[in-house]
Structure 1
Amino acid sequence: MPDLPLYWDQAKTQLMKNDQILRKIILRYEDGPLPSVSPFVTLVRAILAQQASRKTAHAQWLNFSDQYGLQPEPENIAILSAGSLQEIGLPLRKAEYIIGVSQHFAQGQIDIDRLDGLDNEQVIKALCKIRGIGRWTAEMFLIFNLRRADVLPLDDAALLKAISMHYFSGEPVSRFEAREVAQAWAPWCTVATWHLWRSLNAVAVHY
């Protein structure tokens, strides 16, 4: 069984019942793993993915992980300069964000147990207080680390593209229209989103 949340199968069953378009998409792709990585790594990878192509973000992550490991300790990154991360191919602004996030972890300012006890909007509000983390990044954290079942990242360009392609014949889609479509997905928006991502790229998405 792939590394997936316990709710996954139940969510797929309900989504296929409620949405015939999504049913076809879900049946087309086998479940890929949703790997469990550290909260710090999830945020690093999400920061690298901000306003970047998947190829670019992946290349930057490979550079970072080759230098500091697949599961780097925040304390080891917190002492670095932004310039040292620039030297391995990271943009200056993202290098600054990653070091700032690592310092929050190193100083105990990000409490995962506390975050896990909050609802989705409270988690987003808490994380968005940190420089470099916006709503989209916080939503990726909800999906890939806290594994929340009902996250709808309407700022995600790939999700909007997939909704446009499958529900609007490729016509541009607004966030309002996307939210209207997604009403049929609650409370399993995370699983719907993941499969719509898969419909654009056969490789499973994870941060």
Structure 2
Amino acid sequence: MAPRRSTRIREQVPDLPKPASSLAQVSKSKGKKQSNPNGIVKKKAKSPTKSNINAQTTQEFAVPTTPKKKDPTEDGVSMSRDTIPRLTPPPRLDRPVDPHRTNATLMTPRGSSVVAYPSVEDASPSKTALPRPTATTGNLLEKALEHLIATDPRLKPVIEKHHCRIFSPEGLAERVDPFESLISSVISQQVSGAAAESIKNKFLDLFENTTAAGDGKKRRFPTPAEVMQHDLPTLRTAGLSQRKAEYIQGLAEKFAGGELSTEKLLKATDDEVMEMLIAVRGLGRWSVEMFSCFALKRTDVFSTGDLGVQRGCAAFVGRDINKLKANGKGKFKYMTENEMLELAEKFRPYRTLFMWYMWRVEDVNIAVLN
């Protein structure tokens, strides 16, 4: 009689030493325990799979230790952290960051990615004529939060409650298309988040031939040249107003003509970014400040014109927001602009993070901005 399949496989795979912790394992077969002649209880032999063989091989020379906690993988199968394959290398955590330069990884229309300072050498004062950055993508958030709490300990509870992912290592590793970000900003003006998402999807539908076809990947955003190929009536079919369609076409023309570019936005000063973008129809000071914060990830942006920031600042210093709302008039109903600037000044060069936590003080929904 031919040997059973499981027996044949065991003959092909050499017996591997097992951790000591496995000697006491018990398995059931038809409700009865099975023991080997030595009296050690074993599980009923199963056909080893490729993954089982690999797992056994990794344990062959391991010293028996306390079993580690297991993490779920994407396919729902649990395995130890040591056996989970690393599909992609981790992002670099030692890239220098500068408070007044772009700290995000920006995309070009050609699909390549660029950063302001790829290495420590590139951030040398002899090359940049600027002070050497003191933080990196790996420790920026930690250094910033230490500075905020040291400056005003009242921030500690709100910092402990909310994680600022934008300036975390994973947030700084994300790639940002500045052209897409600015177009999305225009689309989102004066509409709800749901409406903005619907319009953007319809806008992308105009460029169906440039999108990923049904493979679950993110749809590729059109280039400035591709947007320019559509006239205003066509752009309006996506749900855009006449004015927004004009703004979007104007942005595409400036990027295609070189007046705006990824490279220019990368190393420009905060004032230069404001000057370049404020000249574009459809982009006001507030829009540029939000772009500098959420897209360029600059650490020293502070928007006095944002009502949510103003409310948060007033509440942070102990003012009764409800009374101020009832009695206030004009743009700065909760706190004057000078008071806001004076309050934020001591948090340089991390005023962007201070602003982010002022939104959190009043639980302002900033999802549409991010």
What is the TM-score with the length of structure 2 in the denominator? 0.49
Q: Which has the larger radius of gyration?
A: 2
The answer to whether 1:143 aligns with 2:293 is: yes
Identity among equivalent pairs (%): 28
Contact 1:198 1:204 in 2 (8 A): no
Per-residue CA deviations over 1:156-178 (Å, capped at 9, x if unaligned) read: 22222322333333132222222
Deviation at 1:124, TM superposition (A): 0.5
Alignment match, 2:182: 43
Measure the CA separation in 2 of the matches of 1:115 and 1:87.
Answer: 31
Write the distance in 2 (CA, Å) between the matches of 1:120 and 1:67: 34
Question: 1:128 touches 1:138 (CA, 8 Å); kept in 2?
Answer: yes
Distance 1:96 1:123, change over 3 A: same
Candidates 321, 343, 350, aligned match of 1:188? 350
Between the two structures, name the one with larger relative contact order (CA 8 Å, sep ≥ 6). 1
Deviation at 1:205, TM superposition (A): 6.0
The match for 2:243 is: 93
Cα drift, residue 21 of structure 1: 3.5
For the residues of structure 1 that align with 2:238 and 2:280, how far apart are their CA atoms?
A: 24
Q: Which residue of 2 aligns with 1:22?
A: 155
Gaps of 5+ in 2: 1-89, 94-102, 105-136, 208-218, 325-333
- Please state how far the C-alpha of 1:64 moved relative to its aligned partner: 3.2
CA-to-partner distance for each residue in 1:166-206, whole Å, 9 max, x for gaps? 33331322222221221232110111222333442467565
Tell whether 2:284 aligns with 1:134. Answer: yes
Output the CA distance in 1 between the equivalents of 2:236 and 2:266: 33
2:326 is equivalent to residue 175 of structure 1: no
Answer whether contact 2:312 2:358 (CA < 8 A) is retained. yes
Deviation for aligned residue 1:100:
0.8
Instruction: State the alpha-carbon separation in 2 of the partners of residues 67 and 81 from structure 1.
Output: 11
RMSD (Å), alpha carbons: 2.9
Bigger mean CA offset, 4-13 vs 59-68: 59-68
Q: Return the offset for 1:38.
A: 0.2
Verify the 8 A CA contact 2:312 2:360 in the aligned structure 1.
Answer: no
Q: State whether residues 139 and 153 of structure 1, in contact with CA within 8 Å, keep that contact through their aligned partners in structure 2.
A: yes
1:8 to 127, 141, 150: 141
Deviations 1:65-95 (A, max 9, x none): 4554453322221222233232222222122
- Separation in 2 of the partners of 1:15 and 1:166? 13
CA distance in 1, matches of 2:201, 2:157: 34
How far apart are 1:51 and its partner, in Å? 4.1
TM-score, normalised relative to structure 1? 0.83
- Which region of structure 1 is more displaced relative to structure 2, 96-105 or 2-11? 2-11
Q: Which position in structure 1 is the counterpart of 2:275? A: 125
Query: How many aligned residue pairs are there?
Result: 207
Task: For structure 1, list consecutive stretches of 5 or more residues without a partner in the other structure.
Answer: none
SS in 2 for 1:72: coil
Residues 294 and 369 in structure 2, CA contact (< 8 A), matched pair in contact too: yes
Superimposed CA distance per residue, residues 127-159 of structure 1 (whole angstroms, 9 cap, x where no aligned partner): 112222221222222223322110012222222
Structure with a larger share of its residues in strand:
2
* Distance in 2 between residues matched to 1:133 and 1:203, nearest whole Å: 18
1:81 aligns with 2:214: no
